[in-house]
Structure 1
Amino acid sequence: MSFKTAVAAGAVAALSLVALAGCSPAASPEPAAAPAKTAEADFPRTVEIPAGRGGEARSLTVAAEPQAIAALDYESAEVLAELGLADRLVLVPEAVLNPALGGHVDEMEQVPATFPVAMNLDTETVISTGPDLVVMSPRHGAEDTIGAVLEQAGLTTLQLPSSWTDPAMLTQNIALIGETTGTEPAAAALVSEIESGLADNAASTAGADTSDAPRVLVLTNQAGRPFATAGSAFPLHLLNLAGAVSVSDELGMTATGPISAEQIVQAAPDGIVLIDMNGTGDRMYAELLANPAVATVPAAADDKLLRVSGRDVQALGLAATGPGLAELTQWVATLQ
């Protein structure tokens, strides 16, 4: 299955040019061309948000071009910065200040307020930053706990229909953020760059379509201990594009969570990917990988380990996921 693109292209306003014809001294000059529409002239606007995760499609009215934006998840913050709106951010997750994840660390350090974990966020924190736009996704369930409260408080709130779990959702969310903030051309360009990067660096055949595809365990240290990446997590979509399959499915894991040495031995993966989500490198994996039983697993015994930074294989990496996929695809080829 080759990678298929699904881009939501933004509308770009066309500029008209009026040529002035020669005239006699007594003639009146032609009227000047009307000025091109500015971003401000495109507001108020209504954004149509598709249904997602059991909800219904809805409309969002944005009265004026947003000037103070609260981003309640990593990916939304990174997208807004990539669209040139970092100087308008007033609240972001503190994790985007970590170079292992964030691609705009210097700009994010200038944001007035940060918070540690999305699921611990409360409405008072958001309201206190004075945003005229709040952007959030269903990733941590915040839409159930604070989304409605923010709207009741009169805050314009873009509740994205889907979390950032696969390339199609990534591009859909980018397009919606672009439309809401009046940055459609930049959003369309970003979507195109991401899709091209993934298409150009994918294996010729996806892992799911290969009967003898390498079996890979993907570990992440985002919870302060080794977790197995499972379910519909974004790195597993990249793993499939790279020509491999995840052993977490064989273990019956439906969501990312703790994994034991016994489970690794049971799975006996051909390779192991170690995702560094916090800049600690192998430190949180050391004890697990040093387990005598795990050390006999083919992937560990033959040193078939690939170490990657979170932003290279997570949706928040945006265009960085293209080179990240290239590295993953080249590594998977060595497991054949």
Structure 2
Amino acid sequence: MKRKLKTIDCFFQRDNPRATPIENPNLTNVQDSDPINLHTEAAELNQQETLATTFERDPGKRVQILMLPFDQQDEARRFYISEGPYQVILDEYPLNDASHARRFQSNWFKQFSWLEYSPHTDRAYCLPCFLFSKKPIGKYGLDTFTVKGFNNWKKVNEGKECAFLKHMGNSGSAHNYSVGCFNNLKNSMTHIDKVMVKENEKLVAEARLRLTTTINSIRWLTFQGCPFRGHDESQNSLNQGALQIIVKFDFVFILLMMEKIMKITDVLCQTLQKKSIDILNALDSVSNTKVLLGNLRNDGWDPVLQEVC
């Protein structure tokens, strides 16, 4: 009896290209997707939303600074200072519950830069006091502009009895102390960066001017066929070389003054060279030149020194 030979079909199933199995795309996506990855992506999205909304801008919803963890308080202060007061401009603010109902006015933002308004509670708050005031010790009214909020709009426009002015107080009040802390931290956040940028721009401008002056000096000496270096380039030497002379302060200052004077007198020279000019126009040109030269003298040396330095 012959032994039946095994072919490759015994081990593998032939794929039928004509058969097109019907698959549910939704079911396939669910089966192929990894539940762990889905959970991770959802967690990452939630974490991004949490990071983006860690500090609430609305003063009626935000958490008090002292209620935050100690390591987040400074971060929160920097965030609120960078964002500035929460000043919402509405077409019409809601009326309060007083007997003579009144509403918040947006022009108060221009009068009091520290003022904030919460559409959620329809109350006014103080940003510097929220950031730097100490915890109230049971005294009534200390937390009006930080925790509870102020909405007695009747007491705003009452002259010296204005609630906002009374909150500001004198120079030694708690509000002014908080404003001072606010400005100090704000300046420390921006002062160094601005100084560095200005200093870098100044250094770049000075370096470009120095390089341009050196290149122009070398080109002029080359064109004139003058030697660059002198035999003795010490400070007391009378022959330091052309390159050492033309880059000195005195030489540059004199050239700059000559340039300014020649620009003023050049118009007069060109006018006097015209044969068709009459005596009246010549006198006008002379008087204009005298006025310009007088202005150059009256302005002093400061503008010229700034250009040289």
- Normalised to the residue count of structure 1, the TM-score between the two structures is 0.20
Give the number of the structure whose alpha-carbon radius of gyration is greater: 2
- Normalised to the residue count of structure 2, the TM-score between the two structures is 0.21
More strand by percentage: 1
More helix by percentage: 2
